[in-house]
Amino acid sequence: MIAEVSSFALPLSLAMILVVAVIRKVPLYETFVLGAKDGFQTAINLIPNLIGMMVAVSVFRSSGALNLVIHALSPVFHFLRFPPELLSIALLRPISGASSLALVTDLFKHHGPDSLLGKIASTMQGSTDTTLYVLTVYFGSIGIKNPRYAVKVGLWSDLISVIASVFAVYLIIGK
Amino acid sequence: MLNIIWFTLMMSGLIVAFATGHVAQVTNGLWDGAKSGVEVAIGLVSIITFWLGIMKIAESARLIEGLSKLVKPIAKWLFPSVPESHPAMGAIIANMSANLLGLGNAATPLGLKAMEELQKLNPTKDMASDAMCTLLALNTASLTIIPATMIGLRAEFHSKNPADIVLPTLLATAIATTAAIILDRFYRHRHQVNHPCKGYAK
């Protein structure tokens, strides 16, 4: 039942958008092509960031360093019931979206997207925006030098988002 | 920040490799990492291109304006310092509506427009006003309805049901957004109590 709600979400929004657009006489196909033409560039723009981070992660993993860290931290995380494999994604998500996407990809490769870890990682990656990026762009554009408490609010809500992702996957998809 | 992270990942990996004799694995890992960076980006071309096209249709169908009526009372509550008739309020409402619809590409320019208008109301030009902090909190938490990129990436890795993370994502993002609003209120209040005479834009 819940799985069905999830799988219906995308096609349903699609149907809704198309119906409203037809009623409001939007030239559907031309508009689609106009918007889609930026897609290639957007994806390609990810390449430098993805390669930079995936190489670093791959070095860190293949050397055995990742296993050492996970091994050292696992008692703490076991106690918190937080999977240690997800720590790096949680830490990197607020700093760089493309970098944490690289980590999620790495995790998919080793655990698969349908594993519990894969699902939590997907939810963590999808449910928040890159705080430091938004902060830089929004405040940078108008020359704000003192962000006051905005950084604190952003980072605290990122932490809550991480915990909420673990919680949401356990609650909705279960083990 | 990224410099430190990158250096730490690389260096600790290389040091462990030298210490444990995993040098060959690391060399392979290097090329594997670079290769999968390209593969992932190319794999995402399909879903990003498709979704950007659909989002353009949603934007042209004036879905943002349609949602504004619902968003308006919430915006008035969230931004008590912004006069209702000020152009900043219009831009804030449009930005929130675009975020709600998942129109990230449309939301950013609207958010920047809102910041620009808020700056006109801001008495301390290099210090963020209360309203700016609230707008930022909303945009960093960014309520997500359809996590299109993640669905695409999961499909690329042959997930049996790439979309089954939609509901958990919605729940997690709703919790985080609520938390961001509460935290913003909390810190706003605390900063006023602590520095009552600094004259922030109320």
What is the tens place of the pLDDT at every residue in B94-106?
999 988 887 777 8
**Residues A7 and A77 grouped into a single domain:** no
**Do A161 and B61 make contact, defined as CB atoms within 8 angstroms?**
no
> Of the candidates B150, B195, B29, B73, which has an alpha carbon nearest to the alpha carbon of residue A169?
B150
Token pair, residue A159, equals 């932490």
Cβ-based neighbours of B171, under 8 Å, separated by 6 or more: A164, A168, A171, A172
Interior CA angle at B185 toward B184 and B186, to 5°? 90
User: Could you list the residue range(s) of the whole structural domain that residue B18 is in?
Assistant: 1-45
Decide: B96 and B79 in contact? Cβ < 8 Å: no
How many Å lie between the alpha carbon of A70 and the closest alpha carbon of chain B?
A: 14
- Whether pTM exceeds 0.90: no
β-sheet bridge partners, residue A146 = B127
What is the tens place of the pLDDT at every residue in A137-168?
899 889 898 999 999 999 999 999 999 999 99
- CA A169 from centroid of its chain's CA atoms: 14
pLDDT at A174: 76
- CA-nearest residue to A21 within chain B is B61
Query: What is the number of structural domains in chain A?
Result: 2
**Residues A75 and A28 grouped into a single domain:** no
Q: Is residue B161 part of a domain?
A: yes
User: Could you list the residue range(s) of the whole structural domain that residue A10 is in?
Assistant: 1-37
Query: What is the number of structural domains in chain B?
Result: 2
Q: Is residue A32 part of a domain?
A: yes
Query: In which element (H, E) is residue B201 found?
Result: none
Decide: B92 and B82 in contact? Cβ < 8 Å: yes
**Do A156 and B179 make contact, defined as CB atoms within 8 angstroms?**
yes
The span from the CA of B121 to the CA of B143, in Å, is 26
What is the tens place of the pLDDT at every residue in A75-131?
888 887 788 888 888 888 888 888 889 889 999 999 999 999 999 999 999 988 888
**Residues A110 and A133 grouped into a single domain:** yes
Testing the interface with B: which of A8, A55, A155, A169 to mutate, by most B Cβ within 10 A? A55
How many Å lie between the alpha carbon of B90 and the closest alpha carbon of chain A?
A: 17
